[in-house]
Amino acid sequence: MDLISSIVSLTFIAQVIRLMTPFYLGASAANFSERGGVINISIEGFMNLSAFSFAVFSIATGSILLGFIMAIAINLLFSLLFAYFTVKLKLDQIVTGVGFNLLSAGITKFLMVYIFKSSSNTERFEGLPDLNFFESIPILGSIFSDYITIFTFALIFISGFVLFKTRFGLRLRSAGENPWAAESLGVNVRKYKVYGILISGFLSALAGMWLASNQNSYSDGMIAGRGYIALAAMIIGKWKPVNIFFACLMFSAFEALEISLQVSGTDIPAQLIQMLPYLITVLVLIGFIGKTRPPAADGVPY
């Protein structure tokens, strides 16, 4: 009964909405890249890299702002490297994405041991400053407690507007749908593919920093597959910002349920509880296989 009451509470709903932040940022990151025709499965790696960079520079300099800037800069740098391999050299995008995920995991693990003499986590640091504007408002105060979460909600409308109401969005989508026709009309297809990857790097950086900031440290494995779940949310949402938002809410609801089950001390085995978000991801994807249509030239080298 205590478990049921906690699940239907306003606190649980607020937690679901708040936990949606890294999922939607990651899914939007993948969406912008794939709208330009580049499959980017390295969202997991980019989130991991930015979380680590944010923690390291925040601890080393004592400045959260500098840590924020450096984490974004490093992600953009690696995004350019990813673009070089996939757009310039036309390497297989799936293989490249897997390589970047492994590279990120290896770099962060090595540097954490080298810098902090620990293979599990960094020192603690002050996270991003809290936003007190909504503090006096019930529920909203616990949801909109930081700037990245507020930006995430704004991104639902920003990404929809940019993709479907601007010249930039039209050209980006044309690069992912029919790059040959777009090139014949004077669109620099490769440039827009790079733009999509850079936006992907920026948004995934925000997702990683949000996780590190809420934990006040970086720990090995803290991304915990959220980048892959974000990819699933993008597919389920059919590459449309609003649909993606609701798909991310579904996954964040199961993550919040996992937390509630662990706290409640239920008799369900802990391993089964921990695998719940990933199990749901697989089951939902099975139901959507063949029912979604990606951009026509998604993953096709040009």
pLDDT at 127: 84
Give 236-258 pLDDT, tens digit per residue. Answer: 899 999 999 999 998 898 888 87
* Better pLDDT: 84 or 260: 84
Give 165-193 pLDDT, tens digit per residue. Answer: 999 999 999 999 999 999 999 999 999 99
Give 88-102 pLDDT, tens digit per residue. Answer: 999 999 999 999 999
Query: Would you say how long the chain is, in residues?
Result: 302
SS3 category, 296: coil
Euclidean distance between CA atoms 172 and 197, whole angstroms = 11
Examine the pLDDT at 1 and tell me if it is beyond 50: no
Specify the pTM: 0.92
pLDDT at 128: 85
What residues have CB less than 8 Å from 72, skipping those under 6 apart?
Answer: 50, 202, 205, 206
